[in-house]
Amino acid sequence: MAYRVIWSDSARSDLRSIVRYIARDDQTIARRFGERIISSVEKITAFPRSGRMVPEQRNDLIREIILSPYRIIFQIDDAALRINVMKIWHSARGSLNSDQ
């Protein structure tokens, strides 16, 4: 059974910021990249553990998809059949723990 995707406020804000930043140069590319991010998340609804574990967290339920140069961080909620997208992180910003 496919999991349902829930976007946190933080992840939605990250997505908007990324698209706005890219749109300063090219709105078409910005829209396409935003759609690629959303599509990448939707693909894991059937197999949520296909994303790799986030190294900084060492928790099987906190995983990520790499869409270079971004890391899409999500948490699996098996009981509710949900994928909670928590953050979209630019890899140039260092490890996730450096911002927390």
Domains of the chain: 4-99 (3.30.2310.20)
> Is the pLDDT at 15 greater than 70, yes or no?
yes
Report the C-alpha gap between 18 and 44 in whole angstroms. 21
Q: Tell me, what's the pLDDT at 93?
A: 72
Q: Tell me, what's the pLDDT at 96?
A: 65
- Strand order of the β-sheet with 52-53 is 4-7, 82-90, 70-77, 62-67, 52-53
Residue-wise pLDDT tens digits, 20-70:
999 999 999 999 999 999 999 999 999 999 999 999 888 999 999 999 999
Overall average pLDDT of the 67-88 stretch? 96
The residue type of 19 is V
Report the C-alpha gap between 19 and 31 in whole angstroms. 7
Q: Tell me, what's the pLDDT at 78?
A: 96
Q: Would you say 2 and 46 are in contact if contact means Cβ atoms under 8 Å apart?
A: yes
